[in-house]
Chains A and B, each alone.
Chain A
């Protein structure tokens, strides 16, 4: 059974601090990794994709991938109240299907 695991939270972070979200996956052959943001009552929105080991930065967001440890993370710098949402980790496996984690609820404290 392929799995993507996330801490459900809520993760509370003061405004302006760095939020760190973590994810592990079970399919060692996975090649593509994604982070989605989902506001309450809305659909998931793709915010980051990463395909190779290391860091990928996009504005205030940095995705980190370590395939040896089967670990993906998302860092949000200078956290804003508008970053309060549920963040879904998603992994595309060898069968080309994307498996989603259950999400981590992030709450930015003003």
Chain B
């Protein structure tokens, strides 16, 4: 593993199903983030975690949940998927301080 790994790369999901998007980093970054990116709307923050054991809500948290049991992993769960959750999802991480974020390669999710 180098950097941030997201899985799956893409997924087609039936509406109403539960889905967990996985994110793992090996940079020992304290902070991790989940974004969704939609055409015309840019990157929008879903949830974040400043350190293991803590999480917070971003701009568009409804319908999503996260957990941060350890430093490396930050899974995003859709409890009951809806078509409006069709998007590209990016996980990101950063060391605390003034640096920028490092992004994973993304998960393209289609809810039908």
A residues whose Cβ falls under 8 Å from a Cβ of B = 31-32, 34, 36, 42-46, 49, 51, 88, 90, 92, 96-98, 100-103
The answer to whether A43 and B103 have CB atoms under 8 Å apart is yes
- Contacts known (A42-B105, A44-B90); A101 close to B42, Cβ less than 8 A: yes
- What separation, in Å, do the CA atoms of A90 and B101 have in the docked complex? 10
Which chain A positions have C-beta within 8 A of B43?
Answer: 44, 88, 100
Contact of B99 among A45, A49, A103 (CB under 8 A): A49
Which chain A positions have C-beta within 8 A of B94?
Answer: 98
The answer to whether B48 and A100 have CB atoms under 8 Å apart is no
Which chain A positions have C-beta within 8 A of B40?
Answer: 102
The answer to whether B90 and A46 have CB atoms under 8 Å apart is no
A-B contact count (CB 8 A): 43
- Contacts known (A34-B100, A43-B104, A44-B103); A102 close to B42, Cβ less than 8 A: yes
Q: Is the CB of B102 closer than 8 A to any CB of chain A?
A: yes
The answer to whether B45 and A49 have CB atoms under 8 Å apart is no
The answer to whether A97 and B42 have CB atoms under 8 Å apart is no
- What separation, in Å, do the CA atoms of A78 and B94 have in the docked complex? 31
Which chain A positions have C-beta within 8 A of B96?
Answer: 96
B residues whose Cβ falls under 8 Å from a Cβ of A = 40-43, 45, 48, 50, 90, 94, 96, 98-106
CB distance from B66 to the nearest CB of A (A): 15
Name which residue of chain B comes closest to A48, CB basis. Answer: B100
- What separation, in Å, do the CA atoms of A90 and B92 have in the docked complex? 14
- What separation, in Å, do the CA atoms of A100 and B106 have in the docked complex? 17
Q: What are 11 A-to-B residue pairs whose CB atoms are below 8 Å? A: A43-B90, A44-B90, A46-B100, A51-B98, A88-B42, A92-B100, A96-B50, A98-B100, A98-B101, A100-B42, A103-B42
Name which residue of chain B comes closest to A102, CB basis. Answer: B42
Which chain B positions have C-beta within 8 A of A43?
Answer: 90, 103-106
- What separation, in Å, do the CA atoms of A36 and B102 have in the docked complex? 10
CB distance from B35 to the nearest CB of A (A): 8
CB distance from B95 to the nearest CB of A (A): 12
- What separation, in Å, do the CA atoms of A92 and B96 have in the docked complex? 12
